[in-house]
Amino acid sequence: MYLLLAVPLLLAQEPPPKCSVSGTVVNSVTGDPLNKVDLVLLGSASTVSDAAGHFCFTDVEPGRYRLIGVRQGFLESTYGAKRDRSSGTTIAFEAGQEIKGLVMKMTPFAVIAGTVRGIDGEPLIDAEVNVYTMTHEAGKPKLEGRGNAKTDDLGQYRVRDLPPGTYYVSATPPENRRFWALRPGAKPGETGVLTYYPNTTRSHDAMAVKVPAGARITSVDITVRSEQTYQVRGKVISNGRDSVEDIGVYLEDEDENHSFLADNKEGTGEFVFPAVPPGVYSLNTRGRNLGSPRGFLTVEVVDRSVEGLRVVLGPTAEVKGRIIFEGDNKSDFQRERGVWLMGPSNLGGVGNIDDELAFTVRDVLPGTYQVKVMGDPRTFYQKSIRCGDVDVLRNGLAIAEGATANIEVVLASDFGSVSGTVLDKDGQPAAGATVLLVPDASQRRRDNDNPSTSADQNGRFEQKAVPPGDYKLFALDAGIDPDEFDEEEFLKTNKDRGTAVTVKPKTAATAQLKLIPPKE
């Protein structure tokens, strides 16, 4: 009898049959097959395409994988990706499945090139050229660097390894870097400044350069503009307790990504910015040590030098707190060791979490901050952040000068999940679609840290580790980059195209989504 029972037990323990996938790698522009492509099925195996572009993976365990390709002259590509920085299409294998005829498209990199000239028309040597894409952060458009180069002895530059897209280009004279530690002895007057293509000093007036896949755009020429600069002078005033020694003074223009460091007269608190272009700046002081007193004010430079500024050192605030867990996942947290305050001009700070799960963030200037526990979001989520009787998770923690705030950060691990299918307008599976999970307005945080996933080759998606709550799910065509639009504007425009889902603790929700196609 024991022998008869053992036979079905052994059969039940047999591993599921292995899978395989084969296909061809091609140039996404020409369609030609590509050899010598290094291919990696993430988490499984690697191979190289042959002379005809063919590849094959065998002995693949059932599961979900991404296929990555690398080859000289091409961008690192993910199977199914229709845009840069896309996670592509997940390949889902069922036990014993053989997938044949897969077409892996590799995108040749594009190039932007040109010549940079000075205000006298002469080529500029060692000018810094930066290439940007436009993204959105907290509802505001923002330029994000995608590549850079320096000009050669002919004033020429070349930025390669660019995916297809829309770009903005700037050039900065060699004596006037984007992050300026101003030269001693510099004086106000006409000087070459950071200039965006074709001829503007303001990013919102820059002309877009549209770059197709594999294109060589070679005539993006920039003549740097000359601009009147002005002196900004003032003094750091002690608060009666703290010294003004070893205090750095900075001007920052966040919109244009400019930063200036002042010349200081040692030991006196006096500072001067010798040559500052017109604009509105944040002026703040920074000491060498945590807990150093700090000052902050707004400075507007218009058409004359700014004299007589007084920056009074104020006591910095402290944020003290402790971590509280709901559930039994505390052991997984021990490798996550910091609490980060995210605020204006990066004026927050970081506090380490000790063995008692307490933390202190010092050297905090007045402002409103998001509190974020650093770590793997699949391990825990921030359920609440209480300061007194107020939950500041959504709207942020307001800090007054010299105050001490005491908070409790409640972490939980009772995630739910969402799965389902995405169908296109013809009712067919939408492979590679991006699925956005947008929390209800009452749960939405200012840092827009919302979960997302993508559909596999069968249009199926699954998002694990979803914090409980009410969500709207939106399925975007794989060619739409969520970073390129303002989330709030998107929600207004597409509010009726989302699918409402409630995710409950430790529960799997399901949904069927209709694809939102790209704009014509």
Domain ranges in the chain? 19-106, 110-227, 231-312, 317-412, 416-516
pLDDT for residue 181 = 37
Closest alpha carbon to 433 in 463, 453, 462: 453
Asked if 110-227 and 416-516 have one fold, the answer is yes
Q: Which three-class secondary structure state does DSSP give residue 424?
A: coil
pTM: 0.76
What span, in angstroms and rounded, lies between the C-alpha atoms of 208 and 167?
6
Classify domain 317-412 at the CATH topology level.
Answer: Immunoglobulin-like (2.60.40)
Tell me the CATH number for domain 231-312. Answer: 2.60.40.1120
Hey, is 6 helix, strand or coil? helix
How does pLDDT run across 424-448, given as a tens digit for each residue? Answer: 999 999 999 999 998 887 777 655 5
pLDDT lower than 70: segments of the chain? 1-13, 137-139, 175-189, 239-243, 254-258, 266-267, 287-293, 328-337, 344-348, 445-450, 484-486, 519-520
Looking at the domain that runs over 110-227, which CATH code has it been given? Answer: 2.60.40.1120
Distance CA 331, CA 358 (A): 16
Q: What's the CATH superfamily of 19-106?
A: Carboxypeptidase-like, regulatory domain (2.60.40.1120)
| Secondary structure E strands in 62-127 | 63-65, 67-70, 77-78, 91-93, 98-106, 110-117
pLDDT score recorded for residue 39: 97
Which residues make Cβ contacts (< 8 Å) with residue 325, sequence separation at least 6? 333, 380, 410, 411, 412, 413
CB atoms within 10 A of CB 333: 19
Which residues neighbour 103 within 8 Å (Cβ) at sequence distance 6 or greater? 23, 24, 26
Count of alpha carbons within 13 angstroms of residue 229, beta-carbon side: 22
Q: Enumerate residues 6+ apart whose C-beta is below 8 A from 203.
A: 143, 168, 170, 196, 255, 256
Pairing assessment for the beta strands 317-326 and 349-352 based on DSSP bridges:
unpaired
Length of the chain: 520
CA 81, distance to chain mean position in Å, is: 18
Sequence-distant (6+) residues with CB within 8 A of 329 are 379, 380, 413
Q: Which superfamily, per CATH, for 416-516?
A: Carboxypeptidase-like, regulatory domain (2.60.40.1120)
At residue 44, what is the residue type?
S
